Each structure stands twice: as C-alpha cells, then as structure tokens.
C-alpha cells in the first residue's frame, strides 16, 4: 500500500434505522428542535433492529428504502420522469407501481399539465403549466381513419383518454403517464363520439354523443357513463333527460354539468343538466344558455371551471362570461384576446389551469400572424373585467399550429 493510499480515510457508513416511521413533510418548517426527540426514536429502533433476524431486518430496510424513494421522486417534476426512466429497471418498476403519483396527490405536489394535438401533427405534445417545458408523446398505433378523423380527449388521473373512429369501429386509446405508452382500452359501454366529458380526480365522466346504430345510421343518445383510471373500468350512469350531441361538460361544486349542444332534430339546446353521484340522477336546468348566440356548425360551448366558478368563452363576440349558479344567469367580464370567432370556436383551447384560465388561439392583436398565442388570467368575478397576460416565452423552439384539434389538462 502506498503512502497516499494510507492517508485516505475509510468512507463513513450510515445506517437507516427507522422501519415504519413516517417521513416528515419537507415543506413544513419545524418550529422547534426535534434532534433530541429523534435520538430517542433512533435508539429504540436500533434496539428493535437488533432483536430482528437478518431476514426481517432486510425486509424492513427494503421497505423503508422503497418508501424513501417514493417520497423523493414524488417531489420531482413529472417532466423529469421519462429521463429517470433510463437510469435503471428499478425506477421503471417504481414508476409503474403508481405509488409516486398517489403520494403526489396525498402530499399536494400535483401540478396541471397540458396535452395538445395541433392540426398537421401526428403526436400529442405535453406542456407544463408555464409552457416552459414540453415533450412529445409516442405516436398512437392506430390507422389513418383515426388520425384524420374527429377525436375527443379527456384525462382521468394519470390517463389520457382519446376516443375516435377507426375503419371498423369507434375505439378508445389510453395513454398512461406511468409507462409512457398508448394502450387500446376496453370499449365504452356505448361507443360514441361528440359527447360531453369532464374529469374529476381519477374519474372521467361522459354524457350524450353520437353512436352508430346497427343499420349504420347515426343516432344522438342521452346515455352516460364514467371511467375509473385506478380500475381501468367503465360504469354506466343514469340517462340524461335530453338527447344531445356536440355539448360540453364540467365538474362544478361537486356535480357533473352538461351544457348546450344539439338534440336529435339538430336543434340548439339552451338547457343544461347536472348529475348527482349520490342519487344517480339528472336535474334539468332550463335556459342555462339563454341569450347566447348559436351558429351552425358551431363548436361545443367553450367552458372552464376555476375556484368553483363556471366561465364561458362566447365565441361569436370573443367575450368571457361567468355563471351565477344561484340566479341561473351570466355576467360579462370583457373581451378575450383571441380570435375565437374565426372558425366559430373550433381550433381554440379554453381550459382551467389550476387557479387560472388558459386560452390558446390566434391573437386579436396580431391578425396577420398564423401561429397560436397563449394567454392566462386569474379570474375574480367580483373585480369585473379580467387582465390577460400573454406567455411570450412559450416553449422556445416550438411553434404552435394555427388550429388546435384537441386539448385537455391533466393534474399529475
């Protein structure tokens, strides 16, 4: 052994001794010194470990290391997970266990992210809430009919649910964030398109739409069902009072709402309906969209919920409205800085992004520009008109197409 090697001290070895104790919340600042209290717990745990046989001790340490890894990675942005997937098989297995995402929900670490498919693109793109980070999803292994046809997109938990028509039938593709893969899901109980939908935690709700009858003709339906991302199953709900297509859905104050659309006679509906999970029943809301302008072929109502308030982007006048649920009336909050009326509401994204409203479309201030602009605002109905801020540093290196085919927000 050389003299230099002799001077190198042996590395210190530390023993993780707590087996079942919960990790502290790293986001809470302690107001007292816990060092002395912790020493007693450590000594007790050491005594417990020495009384265990080797097999039990190894199991305890393995369990602790697993819980520790989950707690650490739950604090990391989910945009980094795909990179960490290349580290080793162990992290991939940890990610697929869904424990990381469960802990993120329980600890309040979840963040909204935006999934978007623009015209001319073959893959969905995932953005963070500030549109500073993005990554492209794998291509859906479907046929050309699915790619070029109309599709509906909604999230449920960490699943992205996309419904569309392939050559033979209506299908559902499910993207799982945990494994970064598309899977052809089990079919809806009543396969259909052009329905209203809304996410609520790990569930997604679906109502109405157009289904193909046995004779090949289209039929407007009033059926409803829900998808659970934990069990990956579909469950039927009670039917709505009205048949409707091209309508919109949202979750407002604990209930699933369906607004507008057209009935089986292609007549525009001004009524809405709310669904109560406890009673499995629908309540008809007459004149919920009374006074709104309807054009054909107009997009479904562009709606979003922030802080338990329902907002609507009136596409004909490019105006923002807020709903008074008690008076069943709408209040005008001013003009939105996008050209939503350019294609009667189609090609524009209007979503809730945490405590903000998000709108993506052609800028009214730059009518000559064919690219999309991203605006956000923090709505407050009591303050009246909203102040919109443009995201001028949106995804450097990515040019958003002038027409958005699908857009939804996931909380993960």
CB-CB contact of 256 with 223 (8 Å): no
Q: Report CA Rg, the chain.
A: 26
State the DSSP string of 369-403. --S-EEEEE---GGG-S---EE-TTTTTT----S-
φ, ψ (nearest 5 deg) of residue 360: -125, 125
Is the alpha carbon torsion for 268, 171, 223, 257 positive or negative?
negative
Nearest CA to 196 out of 137, 240, 146 is that of: 240
Q: What is the mean pLDDT of residues 313-336?
A: 94
Give domain 118-411's CATH architecture.
Answer: 6 Propeller (2.120)
pLDDT at 399: 65
Residues constituting the chain: 412
Could you tell me the residue ranges of all domains in the chain?
A: 56-109, 118-411
Tens-digit pLDDT profile for residues 199-256: 999 999 999 999 977 667 899 999 999 999 999 999 999 999 999 999 999 999 999 9
With cut-offs at 50, 70 and 90, classify the pLDDT of residue 2. very low
**DSSP per-residue codes, 81-145:** HHHHTTT-HHHHHHHHTTHHHHHHHHHT---EEEEEEETT-SS-EEEETTSS-EEEPPPP---HH
Residue 4 above 80 pLDDT? no
For residues 189 and 234, the answer to whether their CB atoms sit within 8 Å is yes
Q: Which helix (H) or strand (E) holds 251?
A: strand 248-252
SS3 content of the chain, % helix, strand, coil (to 5): 20, 35, 45
Q: Are strands 389-390 and 181-184 parallel, antiparallel or unpaired?
A: unpaired
Q: pTM for the complete prediction? A: 0.83
Highest mean pLDDT: which range of 137-141, 167-171, 389-393, 398-402: 137-141
* Residue 128: per-residue pLDDT: 93
pLDDT tens per residue, range 249-291 = 999 999 999 999 999 999 999 999 999 999 999 999 999 999 8
What pLDDT sits at residue 7? 43
How is residue 346 written in tokens? 């189609």
CA distance to 14, 42, 99, 334, per residue, from 18 (Å): 12, 7, 20, 57
Phi, psi of 399 (to 5 degrees): -105, 115
1 pLDDT exceeds 70?
no
The yes-or-no verdict on residue 9 having pLDDT over 90 is: no
Per residue in 22-72, pLDDT tens? 333 433 333 333 334 434 443 454 445 445 455 555 655 577 787 888 898
């Amino acid at each position: 052994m050389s003299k230099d090697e002799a001077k190198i001290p042996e590395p210190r070895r530390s023993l993780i001794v707590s087996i079942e104790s919960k990790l502290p919340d790293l986001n809470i600042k302690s107001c007292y010194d816990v060092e002395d209290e912790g020493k007693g717990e450590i000594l007790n745990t050491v005594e417990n470990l020495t009384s265990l046989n080797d097999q039990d001790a190894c199991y305890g340490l393995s369990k602790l290391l697993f819980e520790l890894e989950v707690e650490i990675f739950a604090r990391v942005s989910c945009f980094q997970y795909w990179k960490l997937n290349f580290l080793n098989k162990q992290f991939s297995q940890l990610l697929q266990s869904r424990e990381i995402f469960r802990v993120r929900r329980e600890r309040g670490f979840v963040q909204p992210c935006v999934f978007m498919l623009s015209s001319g693109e073959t893959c969905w793109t995932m953005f963070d809430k500030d549109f500073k980070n993005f990554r492209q999803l794998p291509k859906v292994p479907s046929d050309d009919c699915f790619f070029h046809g109309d599709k509906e997109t909604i999230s449920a938990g960490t699943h992205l649910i996309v419904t569309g028509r392939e050559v033979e039938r209506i299908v559902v593709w499910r993207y799982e964030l945990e494994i970064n893969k598309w899977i052809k899901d089990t079919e809806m109980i009543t396969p259909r398109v052009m329905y209203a939908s809304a996410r609520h935690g790990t569930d997604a709700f679906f109502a109405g739409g157009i289904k193909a009858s046995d004779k090949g003709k289209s039929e407007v339906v009033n059926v409803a069902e829900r998808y659970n991302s934990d069990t990956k199953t579909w469950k039927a709900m009670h039917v709505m009072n009205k048949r409707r297509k091209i309508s919109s859905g949202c979750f407002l104050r604990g209930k699933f709402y369906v607004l507008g659309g057209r009935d089986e006679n292609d007549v525009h509906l001004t009524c809405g309906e709310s669904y109560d999970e406890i009673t499995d029943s629908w309540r008809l809301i007459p004149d919920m969209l009374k006074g709104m302008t309807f054009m054909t072929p107009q997009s479904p109502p562009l709606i979003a919920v922030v802080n338990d308030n329902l907002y609507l982007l009136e596409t004909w006048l490019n105006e923002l409205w807020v709903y008074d649920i008690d008076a069943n009336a709408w209040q005008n909050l001013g003009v939105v800085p996008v050209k939503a009326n350019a294609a009667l509401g189609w090609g524009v994204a209007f979503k809730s992004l945490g405590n903000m409203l998000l709108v993506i479309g052609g800028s009214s201030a730059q009518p000559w520009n064919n690219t999309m602009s991203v605006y956000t605002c923090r709505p407050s109905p009591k303050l009246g008109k909203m102040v919109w801020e443009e995201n001028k540093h949106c995804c450097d290196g990515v040019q958003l197409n002038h027409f958005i085919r699908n857009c939804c927000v996931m909380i993960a």
